[in-house]
Amino acid sequence: MPKNKTHYEDCDILVVGGGMAGTGATFEARHWGRDLKIVCVEKANIDRSGAVAQGLYAINCYMGMQWNENQPEDHVRYARNDLMGLVREDLGYDMARHVDSTVHMFDEWGLPMMKNPKTGRYQREGKWQIMIHGESYKPIVAEAAKKSADKIYNRIMITHLLMDENNENRVGGAVGFNMRTGDFHVFRSKTVIVAAGGASHIFKPRSVGEGMGRTWYAPWSNGSAYALPIAAGAKMTQMENRIVLCRFKDGYGPVGAYFLHLKTYTQNANGENYEKKWYDQTKKLVGEYIDHHPTPTCLRNHAFVQEVMAGGGPIHMVTKEAFQDPHLETVGWENFLGMTVGQAVVWASQNIDPKYTNPELTTSEPYVMGSHATCSGAWVSGPEDISPPEYFWGYNRMMTVEGLFGAGDTVGGSAHKFSSGSFTEGRLAAKAAVKYIEDQKAKNIKVGKDQCENFRKIIYKPLENYTVGRNEITGGTVSPSYILPIQGLQRLQKIMDEYVGGISVNYMTNENLLKKGLDLLKWLEEDLEHVGAEDYHQLMRAWELKHRALTSQCVTEHTLFRKETRWPGYYYRGDHLKLDDENWHCLTVSRRDPKTGKFTMEKMPVYHIIGDEEKKKAS
């Protein structure tokens, strides 16, 4: 057992993850909780952490209510449509009605916003997106959090939540270790806000071997946001709703600015508009959803996937026309230089100048996240003024574990929050957490030394596995006594890819495959008791892997439960290929029993709180 120091920190609000939602939570907690002790713990360094680490070129969620550009109701309709009808409208509405104030603060804090020279308003990229010079987006929001927190801990990975020994369904803090010093950290806290991002690399990625690590979603997003609450017995929702993205090939560069601002378009290898070709086939699968405007993201993916399977690939983005305009050409390059430098580098390495060559597109491996065009995550309470009883249990964004809150990718059911909406949701969660404390709900929490010591043993076990087993290495890195994190990761990705609907099976799965996948994930779970870590960095990898594996179990259970194909283009249930509104126009909710490890599943109603535009006009 290594002789690492133990540090105890007692606080009122503990924010796990200092990305967009975590910085928002930390900032807002101070506003409402002047005298409270607020601590934010981040695995990396909050100046450059999370999905926004490299910067962004657009804020994808801004209503523009001051100019009557959009109203929160419009955004709910938009998200509902894109998610094929299934969202938590209370959460979406709540985020949308507050998001503009967040963006206005970003502006005040010095984030360079592009302005429309004619109107003086923020420069729109699309209906919801506004354009920014966003290379320094993350350091700017991090500064607000740093000024608000009592303490920011960087380089500490949170591995487990602590539970109250007086009430087994109440949180008591969290534990983790410092990846540089190896020290053990115990945070006893009255409330915990989990804001630890989504999950990449649970499915086998397209880029393997020399390209490993290249991915659309941040490679360091390892599903802690889900694994921490799942392990504590919190309910999760819509975990089957993984996202697949159409992106520039090999560099995974985003296409939003290209479609929306540069007005580029896609075509197949023969120069045809292939999307139209798949209309009738898609209509048979999903009915009238294919006639909705805008076409839901998954259905556009569906046409892409079908076209490639039918031999019509590669699919190209037609850039040659737009890039003849020097202004658009500049925007096209800047879009990547401020956000996804890797795409520009990949093009350079492949001799692609989009002015003369139309670059290829591809569909990504699936990711799990709650803030993009998808809504996997924790089942949380909504706001008191609009949430129906099934969606409300006292404190906004509180999970089904008392005192445990979530925001951003952590929270399920509320898609299309993006960076600004995630920060906003962090603010909402923090405000509610302060109220929870003020209402005296966090009294008499007991977290004893034994609980902490037990976690300490568990956390460092991979180091011990390695130290004991390394003398038995039979060749290279092969040991009969342990597996390395990278070996475990590749095994996990293979299981998820082949059985749960990844790229190598064109996103197809079925009941038999899912059941087999669950079996294999169980075996993996057992073997991960023997994961070996040679240093603290590998210890982090070991824990990232364990969090990914638990998240994957939950994704697989949900995918098995929903017996329909709700989002063709994200994944297909080969045994239930059609959308089935009669039986599955509902949200799926799971809970893993922390004692037995068994998942139970239930259906929850989808309430359409916001009326349709047509009905609104008619009334």
Ligand X SMILES: Cc1cc2nc3c(=O)[nH]c(=O)nc-3n(C[C@H](O)[C@H](O)[C@H](O)COP(=O)(O)OP(=O)(O)OC[C@H]3O[C@@H](n4cnc5c(N)ncnc54)[C@H](O)[C@@H]3O)c2cc1C
Q: Which residues bind ligand X (CB under 6 A)?
A: 16-22, 41-44, 49-52, 56-60, 157-158, 195-197, 216-218, 220-221, 224, 254, 371-372, 408-409, 417-420, 422
Q: Which two tokens stand for residue 187?
A: 């945070």
Q: At closest approach, how far in Å is the CB of 508 from ligand X? A: 25
Residue type, 464: E
> How big, in percent rounded to 5, are the helix, strand and coil portions of the chain?
40, 20, 40
Q: How far apart are the first and last CA of the chain?
A: 70
Q: Least distance to ligand X from the beta carbon of 414, Å?
A: 11
Residue 347 CA neighbour count, 13 Å, CB half: 21
* Residue 314 preceded by cis peptide, ω within 30: yes
Region for 55 from its dihedrals, namely left if φ exceeds 0, alpha if ψ lies in -120 to 50, beta otherwise: left
Cβ closer to ligand X: 242 or 562? 242
Which element (helix H / strand E) includes 20? Answer: helix 20-32
Minimal distance, residue 605 CB to ligand X, in Å: 26
Q: Residue with the closest Cβ to ligand X?
A: 19
CB of 306 or CB of 364, closer to ligand X: 364
CB 378, min distance to ligand X, A:
11
Report helix, strand or coil for 246. strand
Question: Do the beta carbons of residue 411 and residue 397 sit within 8 Å?
Answer: yes
Q: Which are the contacts of 459, defined by CB distance < 8 A and separation ≥ 6?
A: 159, 160, 175, 176, 177, 184, 539, 543
| Closest approach of ligand X to the CB of residue 27, in Å | 12
Q: How far is the CB of 332 from ligand X (least distance, A)?
A: 15
CA pair distance 153, 46, nearest whole angstrom: 9
To ligand X, the closest distance from the beta carbon of 31 in angstroms equals 18
Considering the complex, state which of residue 218 and residue 375 has its C-beta at the smaller distance from ligand X. Answer: 218
Minimum Å distance from CB 22 to ligand X? 5
Give the nearest distance from C-beta 207 to ligand X in angstroms: 14
Query: Three-state SS for 34?
Result: coil
How many Cα atoms within 13 Å fall on the side-chain side of residue 198?
33
Cβ at position 1, least distance to ligand X in Å: 22
Which residue, 225 or 290, is less far from ligand X as judged by CB? 225
Nearer Cβ to ligand X (50/517): 50
Look at residues 432, 266, 233 and name the one whose alpha carbon lies nearest to residue 359: 266
* Distance set, CA 19 to CA 25, 165, 293, 409, 558 (Å): 10, 30, 32, 10, 27
Q: Which is nearer to ligand X, 204 or 372 (CB)?
A: 372
Nearer to ligand X, 175 or 437 (CB): 175
* Nearer residue to ligand X within complex by CB, 417 or 562: 417
- What is the Cα–Cα distance from 45 to 461, expressed in whole angstroms? 25
Cis peptide bond prior to 205, omega within 30° of 0 = no
* Cβ proximity of 129 and 59 under 8 Å: yes
- Contact between 152 and 38 under an 8 Å Cβ cutoff? The reply is no
The Cα 199–Cα 545 span in angstroms is 11
> With respect to ligand X, which residue has the nearer C-beta, 22 or 413?
22
Closest residue by Cα to residue 286 from 573, 574, 566: 566
DSSP reduced 3-state for 489: helix
Is there a contact between 75 and 61 (Cβ–Cβ < 8 Å)? yes
- Which residue's CB is nearer to ligand X, number 263 or number 515? 263
**Closest separation between CB of residue 168 and ligand X, Å?**
23
Residue closer to ligand X (CB basis): 50 or 502:
50
Q: How far is the CB of 309 from ligand X (least distance, A)?
A: 26
| Residue number, 17 or 296, with CB nearest to ligand X | 17
